Amino acid sequence: MAQVLITGGAGFIGSHTCLVLLQAGHRLVVLDSFVTSNPASLRRVLELAGGVASERLTVIEGDLRQPSSLDRAFSAMAGRCDAVIHFAGLKAVAQSVHQPLLYWDVNVGGSTQLLSAMARNGCHTLVFSSSATVYGFPETIPIQETAPVLPINPYGHTKAAVERMLADLATSETHWRIARLRYFNPVGAHPSGQIGENPLGPPDNLFPYVSQVAVGRIARLQIYGDDWPTADGTGIRDYIHVMDLAEGHLAALEVLWNEQPQLLTLNLGSGIGHSVLEVVRAFEAASGRTVPYGVAPRRAGDAARSVADPSEAERRLGWRTRRDLETMCLDGWAWQSSHPDGFSSQASNP
């Protein structure tokens, strides 16, 4: 049993990863500000983990940028932190354009504080939540990890900056064990429908938008462009089921613990691209609902295609995605239909 600090553990990817780690027998301390997440997710995680899992989860409300919050989190581990998984951060591209300093402060400043606290507490194993956004407009599809890092918005700049900081650290102090995981498009939910994505306000991303249209919370989807150079004219992305992604984090931790200190940089994606229209059709089939849509102009900053080459993650982690688009939609619908208003849904929050 390892002790792992999870920053941002109440969020979408964080909560699913907490469940996978608890089920693998680890002890967790979650540090979360709950600014963009809901503590109810962690209560659900405990219900799903069952048994005596509650003895292996400590939740601390705090902000990474405050050393006192980090001190409380490390104290809760009584001097033994075997690894940190760092999810905490802001991720809305449009908001980052309007509030760049906030993004640099939370995402980069928060990471700097975290790394200092890890060093003070003798913990040198880190899995960092990065993003395919660091590739900007990729020249070659599928995208390999060796592709240029050229982000095109402040959110992407902060992810690339933390990646750079981690590389500098790994060069200067060779005992660090670090994985930089570049996620493609995480979607879906735990198949129980008890935890899932819970965006505040109207969603920015396609999948939660489609599911809120299907459940009747939003009237219609706007497809951002049907004139892209793709087979049906709509944008293509590499969607990854959040449970596959969560399992990828456990696989990365095990490799970091079992191998020599190293800096790993890996794409976590399926390697399969789906268009916006394919997602709409798959969601309609899974939910039995119609998803009305219109076509709007292209969204600024979008690329026609983003698809991972996941072969390096398969080779290094012995991990690959197992859940297809249909499963992503069925599980996403299990969550959305039972929680039309997310964690604040009355019916599901007795």
Q: Which of 235, 248, 271, 310 binds ligand UFG (CB under 6 A)?
A: 235
Binding window for ligand UFG (CB under 6 A); candidates: 62-70, 136-144, 162-170, 220-228: 220-228
Give Cβ neighbours of residue 282 (< 8 Å, ≥ 6 apart). Answer: 274, 325, 326, 328, 329
Identity of the amino acid at 317: L
Give Cβ neighbours of residue 281 (< 8 Å, ≥ 6 apart). Answer: none
- Is 47 a residue that touches ligand UFG (CB under 6 A)? no
DSSP 132: G
Identity of the amino acid at 132: A
Neighbours of 340 (CB within 10 A): 16
Which of residues 62 and 271 has its CB atom nearest to ligand UFG in the complex? 271
Which of residues 74 and 239 has its CB atom nearest to ligand UFG in the complex? 239
- CB-CB contact of 280 with 293 (8 Å): yes
- Is 276 a residue that touches ligand UFG (CB under 6 A)? yes
Binding window for ligand UFG (CB under 6 A); candidates: 105-113, 166-174, 216-224, 310-318: 216-224
Q: Which of 37, 306, 321, 336 binds ligand UFG (CB under 6 A)?
A: 306
Q: Which residue, chain included where needed, has tokens 């790993």?
A: 264
- Apex CA 141: angle with CA 135 and CA 144, to 5°? 60
Residues 59-98 that bind ligand UFG (CB under 6 A): 91, 93
Give Cβ neighbours of residue 283 (< 8 Å, ≥ 6 apart). Answer: 210, 211, 214, 291, 329, 332, 333
- Is 132 a residue that touches ligand UFG (CB under 6 A)? yes
- Is 176 a residue that touches ligand UFG (CB under 6 A)? no
Half-sphere exposure of 2 (CA within 13 A, CB side): 19
Binding window for ligand UFG (CB under 6 A); candidates: 104-112, 120-128, 219-227, 315-323: 219-227
- Tell me, yes or no, if 155 is annotated catalytic: yes
Binding window for ligand UFG (CB under 6 A); candidates: 22-30, 75-83, 203-211, 321-329: 203-211
- Is 299 a residue that touches ligand UFG (CB under 6 A)? yes
Residue ranges in contact with ligand UFG by CB under 6 A: 91, 93, 131-133, 184-185, 204-206, 209, 221-224, 235, 237, 276, 299, 302, 306
Q: Just list the catalytic residues.
A: 155
